[in-house]
Amino acid sequence: MTRFEGYGVLVTAAGQGIGAAVAHRLAAEGAQVLVTDVDEEAAGKTAAGMRELGHRAVEFVCDVGERASVDAAVAHAVDTFGRLDVLVNNAYACHPDAPLFEDEDDEAWARDLDISLTGAYRCARAALPHLVASGRGAIVSVGSVNGLQDFGCHAYSAAKAGLVSLTRTLAGHAGPRGVRVNLVASGTVRTPAWTDRGRNPDDVRELYPLRRVGEPEDIAAAVAFLASRDAAWITGAVLPVDGGITAVNTGFKGIAD
């Protein structure tokens, strides 16, 4: 498929995991992709791998916690590709909960909200004029089932719930200007976020009706759909891509914490 032929795309936190899978998927369908990440080496590795496959990909260091960094990334995408058609908000931060809520740390709480929610706001704010100009603009944010139900991680969950709200309010604002805004609510996905903590995501697979955890490509496929013209009459939507866990959640929290 070439649903994104001629598109300019910016993906945040694309150095690994879901972000890298999204970048690969959109590029495979014809997009020119700015692979951004706060980790310069990771962004470069992803972009180099894409170029080896014949795709057009450029790496760029972007910290969504800094307005100047976000503005620079958006400007670089427009300068490089001549346009910006799709923004994928994928960056997040998540610290473990304190044993007692009253022992939560202000700094850690603020960082989770700043990267996961305010970071998406910064990116959308910078990108929106260019998405309007494209005539086919779309924003897709990678959210979480944590923003829909209780799966632990207070700050991260609050941020992802806020991202759901931002998706809906921004959809209402941007729709008349020709820009669609949607969110993919992801369940457990096999990414370094698990393995770097010494955890095996397969420990929770039996809690999912489909009896497996997600792969980054599962989320990338949903992002590609929502970003494409196949979803031309969809905006303000929250699409759970979660193996059915939000339909039947039983006992997940105690195992996953």
Residues marked active site are found at: 156
| Residues composing the chain | 257
Query: Which residue in this structure is represented by tokens 């990440």?
Result: 37
